[in-house]
Amino acid sequence: MNYSGMKRKEQNTATKKGLFCKNETIRSCIKHYDLLLMVLPGLLLLLVFRYGPIYGLTIAFKDFTMSNGIWGSAWNGLENFKRLFAGNEFGKVFKNTVVISLIKLLFTLPAPIVLALLLNELKALKVKKVVQTCTYIPYFFSWIVLSGIITSVFSVRGPINLLLSLIGIEKPIEFFGNGTMFILMLVITEIWKSCGWNSILYIATISGIDESLYEAAKIDGANRWRQTLSITIPSIIPTIVTVFILNLGGVLNAGFDQIYNLYNPTVYDVSDIIDTYVLRRMEVMDYSLGTAAGLFKSVISLVLVVLSNWFVNSISNNELGLW
């Protein structure tokens, strides 16, 4: 058989394989139609509420007016971005966002890890369940509810300042009137709300560690602390790296719900973030500038995820990255 004949035979074989794969896919879809129908509502919600709004990003490149609509508004290129970076306000907002996000990341990333390690050491199952339940509960409350509780407890005339006065601290502490104290409150309340829920992932990872490793360590004379350092922590490092990469991608979020419900004009200088800035732009109907700021934030978040994943892959020989 000459070369052209062999080539035609290979092409025919490839075509048959392609048709076979397509037929198998169609048969599989027909066979599992009930499962596909179960997925359909979630898929539609994803398309409508996640991918549909992407169309609105064109406002960032237009001189948008409500009367003309998105398609009717004139294109103005990068003018909205030039206007965004020309003023001093966005620079200050960007700085606040980065500072708050990095401080939160520094403390909220290790907190659930420590909690998971401590829960792993509890041998009394009833006590363990009670502690887990108590740490999970705050996660299910919205920041609207929690902000009312937190501001009441930590107000100038709240129970915390009352207790401080009983131990000799007569001057009440303004937890929400001082910039440094406000950021401290953001970190503490964020840990309190999310620590228990975020620890679930690490608890699940720890529960999957082979028990024979601990038994071998015991035979070698390793105590619980040494077992934690040599077995438990190294086993959850891939999970820690994954969570770190994902959190780094959201480093410009800073927690809009939390800050919006807790901040006040006295701490605007340190608490005004990109999301609150975008909201103010929308309130004055400057939709183009608000959309430009939101798009800038999304692009930076994407770049951070890609760079962090590349860095992790480079130092771990492509073993710990997401892709």
| Rounded Cα–Cα distance for residues 219 and 3 (Å) | 66
What own/partner pairs with CB < 8 Å and gap ≥ 24 does 63-72 have?
A: 63/288, 64/287, 64/288, 64/291, 66/285
- Is domain 83-140+191-316 given the CATH code 3.40.1160.10 in the classification? no
CB 190 within 8 A of CB 278: no
CB 94 within 8 A of CB 274: yes
Residue closest to 104 by CA, chosen among 321, 268, 256, 284: 256
CB 59 within 8 A of CB 287: yes
What DSSP string describes 206-222?
Answer: HHTS-HHHHHHHHHTT-
> Domain ranges in the chain?
3-71, 83-140+191-316
Question: What is this structure's pTM?
Answer: 0.79
Sign of the CA dihedral running 138, 140, 146, 149: negative
**pLDDT tens-place values along the chain, 323 residues long:** 544 555 555 555 545 445 445 577 778 878 888 888 898 899 999 898 888 888 888 888 988 888 888 888 888 888 989 988 887 888 889 999 999 999 998 999 999 999 999 998 888 888 888 988 899 899 999 999 999 899 889 888 888 888 888 888 778 888 888 888 899 999 999 999 999 999 999 999 998 888 888 888 888 888 888 888 888 899 998 888 888 888 887 778 888 889 988 888 888 888 889 888 888 888 888 889 889 988 888 888 888 888 887 877 777 666 655 56
CB 259 within 8 A of CB 107: no
